Amino acid sequence: MSLIGIIASQNYSRIFNLSVDYLVVAGGGGGGQNASGGGGAGGLRCTVTATGGGGSLESALTLQSGTNYTVTVGAGGAAGIVSPLSGETNGSNSVFSTITSIGGGKSGTTGGSGGGGDFANYPSVRAPGSGTANQGFAGATFNSAYEPRGGGGGAGAAATNVTNNTGGAGGAGVATSITGSSVTYAGGGGAGSSSTTQSGNIGGVGGGGNGGRNENNPAATAGAINSGGGGGGGSTGNFAYNGAAGGSGVVILRYPNNRRITIGAGLTGTTSAASGGFKRTTITAGTGNVSWS
């Protein structure tokens, strides 16, 4: 064999395929101001334990060593603010290679999971937003202008439609053991309330923020960082008008423990020690590339 042939053979032998499991969670939607619906959770796609929207478990990707694969961690949506007046926004998408999870819907808007319904400007009604198939569920509607608004949908369950004297709670997220222990992500945001006596208004398990309540009751809270949780809707009354921001997303990668990952510029991430035959890399912010050797 010629020298060129030997070099080509050696280079070819360094290329291999590997199977990579993933959790890709988008940013949660923001909660609106002035007794608004809760933000929907970020879309969730996963190959371990369970995935979003009640769909079938996703399949691991077969990737090639020495090749760059894009990763983006979606930011949470902005909160609705009373002064200076600023509207809430959807969460941003998260991406790994060919996998995209859709950002959570702001109150009253479709997204990975849908935002809760409300009166955008009474008596104008915003219907609850729908979720994205195999990523998340819909937000909830509400009873009347004088009762709490709808909670945001979660990746694991729709928000429950509001009836008299119950709070607009966010839908539950999805639990996965991709990290080696069970963790729940992508809960919907609780709705804001115009009442001093309402129960509920809590965010869905998996990082959903709580809705604000009237007068001296607590203000809305943001979705948890790196959970994809929806933000809580703001209350009415003399305090806590503002909504709260959605939680940022996260990308977690699980791969064979004899392989080494390179996390490129623009990304923030950490890799755990090998356990159970796998390494796990958690990417918490940014946009860039990863590769394996």
Q: What is the pLDDT of residues 218-239, one digit of tens each?
A: 789 999 999 999 999 988 765 5
Q: Is residue 148 in a domain? A: yes
Q: For the residues 100-124, what does the mean pLDDT come to?
A: 87
Q: Is residue 7 in a domain? A: no
Q: Is residue 281 in a domain? A: yes
Instruction: Decide: pTM greater than 0.85.
Output: yes
Q: Is residue 13 in a domain? A: no
Q: Is residue 10 in a domain? A: no
Q: Is residue 11 in a domain? A: no
pLDDT band at 91 (very low <50, low <70, confident <90, very high): very high
Q: Is residue 1 in a domain? A: no
Q: Is the pLDDT of residue 217 over 80?
A: no
273 contacts: CB under 8 Å, gap ≥ 6: 279
Q: Is residue 4 in a domain? A: no
Q: Is the pLDDT of residue 4 over 50?
A: no
Domain count, the chain: 1
Averaged confidence pLDDT in the chain: 89
User: Environment class of residue 20 by beta-carbon count within 10 Å: exposed (0-12), middle (13-18) or buried (19+)?
Assistant: buried
| Domain coverage including residue 266 | 18-293
